[in-house]
Structure 1
Amino acid sequence: MSYAPMPPTQTQPQRKNGLGTAGFVLGLVGLVFAFIPIIGVIAWPLTILGLIFGVIGITRANRGQADNKGMAIAGVVLSAVGLLICVIWTAVFSKAVTDSVPTPAAPPSIQSSGAPAGKHTVVLEVTTTAKSNLLWTSGFRTNSQEVLEPGKPWSRTLSMDTLAWTSVSVSPVSYEPGGKDNTCKITVDGKTVSEQANGVAALCTFQP
């Protein structure tokens, strides 16, 4: 008795669902913490990373590399809502402090020569080694997602009457293990206050 040969077994491609799932978890946890005064400061990095990982998860799903697009989208939505709540809390506390404490006039000798009188200058800088997603936040202003080409430097100069919580993050669109690091830096009135290099997600933050 003869048997027909078995067809060759096809190996299913490994799904890269990790970052999409991580984005959902970070977004959910960050949203919960965002509602808690004082402790809510923990939500800032969680929601920002959740937003970054969620965007990468969506990108991978669109390329067919992952099958959890719905979870990645949910992570982006949760992270965005949590980040908005964090911004609102920061604005409320900043206004309360500003209203309760009179601001003395600064003598001309301590004004920054690089900033207009009565203002602060905040400079955000990013360098990339691969095609990367960029996100920056300052006070109530959050830009839409930007995609930077490999090796393209990026910078943004902000002028503020009152310093506000500010962050900038950059992460590769498609993470490859062993890749070179992206970098970010925040400079306030000529002084570097945050600087980081990371291959997964470089995140720089400034808290006045």
Structure 2
Amino acid sequence: MQSTLFLVRHGQSLWNLENRFTGWKDIDLTPTGIAEAEKAGIELKGQHIDIAFTSTLVRAQHTLDIILKACDDQQIPVIKNAALNERSYGNLEGLNKAETARKYGDEQVHIWRRSFDVAPPGGESLKDTYNRVIPYFVHTILPYMKEGKNVLIVAHGNSLRSLVMFLDQLTPGQIIDKEIATGVPLTYYLTDKQMDGLQYEPIK
């Protein structure tokens, strides 16, 4: 038996456009983001989706709503959970990235943004995000796939990078430069054997 997993990063948000650290701040889509979500829905139209998961943040939920409308799949179950939220940027949330670099220095901001295990002040590292997202995927989402259901996850750049790292068995060094484009579906076809091999081990 094989199940399909669709991953979509939300469309462009207002703070994406303004080059701000967004994290857990609840910022909605721009017109461009809405168009990106519509395009993702058109791309997924015709695919069979049994259940969808998203975060508790409006930009992901809005993207999912647009996708399901485009797919004519508005009646499928939707589960929202903070485990799929974007990485928290803590004290940096709301700050312009260029202004933050001028304040703290380019090198420090690059470390906060791109290192695997260094968290910004009051926020999460990518490692922290991984250790939040993957247990939820393994214990809550994967069982649906093992029943043969096809799953759609609409989430965020770093929560999805964590999931891609897990599914593709990437190292911390390999995931650092991995980008997840807004509104572009990623598709994984997983067999029973592959799913049985997906075991969560905390990264320490």
Q: TM-score, normalised by structure 1?
A: 0.30
Which of the two has greater strand per residue? 1
Ranked by relative contact order (alpha carbons within 8 Å, sequence separation 6 or more), the top structure is 2
Of structures 1 and 2, the larger Rg is shown by 1
Which of the two has greater helix per residue? 2
